[in-house]
Structure 1
Amino acid sequence: MKLFKVLVLFFINYFIGVLSTEETSVKCGACMLVVREFEKAIKAIDPKKMTTVGSFRVDPKGNQKGLVEIPFARSEAHLQDVLEDVCEKTKKYTQTIHPVTGKKTYIHEEIIVEYKRIPGMSNKLHSACIDFVDDNDSEIIKFMQKEEVEDPLRDLCHEKLGICTSVDVSPFPDPTPSDDYDGNTKESDNLENDEL
């Protein structure tokens, strides 16, 4: 009888765990939104555009020392501007089911043309975004100043902050077929038409 109770408790805990992971948390969705919007804003800036940072103090001889030219896209000034209105972008985000993981997740509406939308989550996402930015503003700026990060969603939201699971930050598949595929022919059709 005790074994039966233990098994029942085990299965209840298992199913609660499974059900709780069917949806990306709204806090994770906010983190992913912030990273995606920062990356989009950085890519929109001309890489040749530079800004001067450092000390603007003049020494007794009239020279300024410590001034450095850096790319504007990842400058603190630009990133602060992006941070100020990043949460307004939640209006363009919706919840959808990830085609690979099967989890409900948040994504920009222009990306999910071919995926099923789940309406009605933008208010929760907006509130979560504001809370996320308020709690992590300095970490976000410091992280986004890094030049080359291979997978920023995974690095910030999963590994650094621990807000998302590794499944949550799985990339969406490319909705467009490859150039080699025309959608009409199968490889077996080509083999049948080959002459020996």
Structure 2
Amino acid sequence: MRGEAEMRLTSCVLLCVLLSLSQAVRPGQDVRCGACRALVDEMEFAISQIDPKKMIQTGSFRINPDGSQSIREVPLARSEGNLLELMESVCERMADYGEHTDSSTNRKSYLRIKSRNGESMDLSQAALDSRITSSLKFACETIVEQHEDELIEFFSHEMENVKDKLCSKRTDLCDHALKIPHDEL
């Protein structure tokens, strides 16, 4: 009897440990996914604030043997130099986000809690906590560091559904992104 009880207890403890580990993985995935989606939103907004008529010359300034140069003009907003500059500060804006937990799925998402234009916002659904913003900022910085080339590739061209294409399909940071409405972070 005693051996059977010990075995049941061991099985129960093992099951509890496995359940806690599986629950511990989900919040990390949610934070990385939320950080990626917030990063995309912030980058798209920052790019939209730059005059689309401003151009910058890129390419080689060397003179080719035929006397020509390999210079081309690209919009400043989507130039590699500008994108790199934006990526240096984009994670600082994670302080503008709060956490929302869906009561039916228990999945976390991240909402902007500070308005860009000074309008008041409904914060009743958002949890405001320094741990949330610091984990979002850390996740954002990790994404920028690990996926810099992909970010430049995606933002150097105008495309639709960057959140899904970058955060889910390219980087696998969001395993559930196709179920999230496009405007939700």
Q: So what's the TM-score if we normalise by structure 2?
A: 0.72
* Cα drift, residue 138 of structure 1: 1.4
Indicate yes or no: 2:168 matched with 1:163.
Answer: no
User: d(CA) in 2 for partners of 1:161 and 1:104?
Assistant: 19
Q: Identify which of 74, 85, 88 aligns with 2:89.
A: 85
* Cα drift, residue 146 of structure 1: 2.1
Q: Identify which of 28, 44, 47 aligns with 2:33.
A: 28
Q: Identify which of 73, 81, 106 aligns with 1:69.
A: 73
User: d(CA) in 2 for partners of 1:155 and 1:99?
Assistant: 27
Distance 1:100 1:152, change over 3 A: farther
Q: So what's the TM-score if we normalise by structure 1?
A: 0.68
The letter of the residue matching 2:51 is D
Indicate yes or no: 2:139 matched with 1:139.
Answer: no
> Aligned Cα RMSD in Å?
3.3
Asked whether the 8 Å contact 1:24–1:103 carries over to 2, the reply is: no
Structure 2 stretches lacking a partner, 5+ long: 1-7, 116-120
The letter of the residue matching 1:53 is T
Indicate yes or no: 2:118 matched with 1:113.
Answer: no
Q: C-alpha deviations, 1:86-115, integer Å up to 9, x for none?
A: 111111111123599663211221476265
The letter of the residue matching 2:126 is R
Deviates more, 1:34-43 or 1:95-104: 95-104
Larger helix proportion of the pair = 2
Structure 1 stretches lacking a partner, 5+ long: 175-196
Where 2:172 maps in the other structure, the secondary structure is: coil
Distance 1:173 1:136, change over 3 A: closer
Indicate yes or no: 2:57 matched with 1:52.
Answer: yes
Asked whether the 8 Å contact 2:30–2:107 carries over to 1, the reply is: no
Aligned to 1:40: 45
User: d(CA) in 1 for partners of 2:80 and 2:183?
Assistant: 32
User: d(CA) in 1 for partners of 2:104 and 2:52?
Assistant: 34
**1:156-195 alignment, distance < 5 Å:** 156-167=166-177, 170-171=180-181
Identity within the alignment, %? 30
Aligned residues: 165
Q: C-alpha deviations, 1:21-74, integer Å up to 9, x for none?
A: 58862111221121111111111112111111111113478x441111111111
The letter of the residue matching 2:50 is I
Distance 1:91 1:114, change over 3 A: closer
Aligned to 1:122: 133
Asked whether the 8 Å contact 2:164–2:177 carries over to 1, the reply is: no
Distance 1:171 1:60, change over 3 A: same
Where 1:118 maps in the other structure, the secondary structure is: coil
